[in-house]
Amino acid sequence: MSTTPDSLAETLTVTRLGVTGSLLKTVMGTNPMESMIGIVRDHARNVKRWQPGDMRLRWAAAGMLEASKQFRRVKGYRQLPALTHALRHAVGADAEIVKAVTA
């Protein structure tokens, strides 16, 4: 892990959100993203026609859905719901979800 100012800010942000243990090690690395990108690439390898742009999004989304089947392999994956809650709370999304449900 590098110690650039950006990486330090990211480390502090992840720590502030309560990420610890093996999930912290996982999110501090690039392996999960590289794995997902590789699966998306494999999933779309035989696509010959990429026009129009919305088809690109569909193929990328389909590849990500395929990759999501393997997300359980992420070390610390059991902490992901807590991280999701912390992220939603940090950006104020909880209040918007409550408003949408009660409306």
The residue with greater pLDDT, 7 or 85, is: 85
Residue recorded with tokens 């992220």: 87
Q: Provide the domain count of the chain.
A: 1
User: Could you read off the pLDDT of 33-67 as tens digits, one per residue?
Assistant: 888 899 888 888 877 777 777 788 888 888 889 88
User: H or E element: which one contains 31?
Assistant: helix 31-43
Residue 102's pLDDT is what? 45
Residue recorded with tokens 């243990």: 21
Q: What's the average model confidence in pLDDT over 88-93?
A: 80
User: H or E element: which one contains 7?
Assistant: helix 5-16
Instruction: Give me the domain span that covers residue 88.
Output: 5-102
End-to-end CA distance of the chain: 45
What's the mean per-residue pLDDT of the chain?
77
- In this prediction, residue 1 has a pLDDT band, given cuts at 50, 70 and 90, of very low
User: H or E element: which one contains 44?
Assistant: none
